[in-house]
Amino acid sequence: MASLSFVSSSLRTPSLTLRTTSHSSPKTSVSFSVKAQSLSQDDLKKLAAEKAVQSIKPGMVLGLGTGSTAAFAVSQIGKLLSSGELHDIVGIPTSKRTEEQARSLGIPLVTLDTHPRIDLAIDGADEVDPNLDLVKGRGGALLREKMVEAVAERFIVVADDTKLVEGLGGSGLAMPVEVVKFCWEFNLVRLRDLFKEFGCEAKLRVGEGGEVYVTDNSNFIVDLYFKEPLKDAVAAGWEIGKFEGVVEHGLFLGMATSVIIAGKNGVEVMNK
């Protein structure tokens, strides 16, 4: 099980509550003058993302995540580079949209081909369980996210408290599986049948206009919806990966080293 450790913060907004929790000690909290409840969810995500960015040091190779929370982190990195507070870093984006954002902010970009070792990756998550295992990829970038974050020495996840679950799949929202276009329906049926006992529903992802969603890698996504959490996420990931035509799945297991959770009561840091 993951344990929680106290963190101090130099964030300028005085409405932050930082909590530390361990399984062997009671919860404690430190409150500032303005209650965190006065902040919006986006404000809290931004604070948590900025906290993660504080871990960046000059000379680092960074994995740049994808999604609304990760975008706050990328924005903060750009601001620190522009002000001169941060220098001599390069980033590897996990999607085309993150690449566009990073380039617009003047963040130097490289690839895994030239920089196969990453010092720190920062990204969001769709579900976080008590062991800091994750569901990711509802934004469609799961393959590139996993490729980048799997080789990161440290992987900090930033999320809001609605992403906390007791077991992966427990939110009832999509757990994505990226599949090749060829005979995608064949794999959709196989994935659905694999998880019959969990009342699994499998759907081909479509966009807002009803068009089939295509990933940055020119693949399709089959979204799995569970009526109850997975009993063994490791076994589930292994079985999914055995299907020919499956490119990657959204179970990120044993990868996160820290998770920063933003909620109405403040910001909480969970460490492995």
Average pLDDT, the chain: 87
Q: Which residue has the tokens 């965190």?
A: 36
CA dist 130 and 138 (Å) reads 20
Give 201's strand partners: 225
* Candidate list 50, 99, 127, 145, residue with the active-site label: 145
DSSP secondary structure string for all residues of 118-174: EEEEEE--SEE-TTS-EE--TTS-HHHHHHHHTTEEEEEEEEEGGGB-SSTTTTSS-
- Do 120 and 232 belong together in one domain? no
Regarding whether 223 and 126 lie in a shared domain, the answer is no
CA distances from 224 to 131, 170, 272 (A): 21, 12, 28
Q: Are residues 193 and 240 in the same domain?
A: yes
Instruction: Give residue-wise pLDDT tens across range 104-140.
Output: 999 999 999 999 999 999 999 999 999 999 999 999 9
Domain extent, residue 225, equals 175-249
pLDDT at residue number 24? 34
Looking at the fold, whether 159 and 200 belong to one and the same domain comes out as no
> Same domain for 215 and 123?
no
Q: How confident is the model at residue 9 (pLDDT cuts 50, 70, 90)?
A: very low
Q: Collapsing DSSP states into helix, strand and coil, what is residue 264?
A: coil
pLDDT of residue 264: 76
Q: What is the pLDDT of residue 248?
A: 98
Q: Is 50 a catalytic residue?
A: no
For position 53, which CATH number holds? 3.40.50.1360
With respect to residue 159, please indicate whether it lies within any of the assigned structural domains.
yes
**Are 129 and 65 within one domain?**
yes
The whole-number average pLDDT for the span 54-61 is 97
pLDDT value at position 15? 33
Which residue would you say has higher pLDDT here, 198 or 180?
A: 180
pTM for the whole thing?
A: 0.85
* In a shared domain, residues 137 and 264: yes
* CATH, residue 242: 3.30.70.260
Whether residue 192 contacts residue 202, with contact meaning beta carbons closer than 8 Å, is answered with yes
Instruction: Say if 233 falls within a structural domain.
Output: yes
Model pLDDT, residue 38: 73
Q: What is the pLDDT of residue 2?
A: 46
Amino acid of residue 137: G
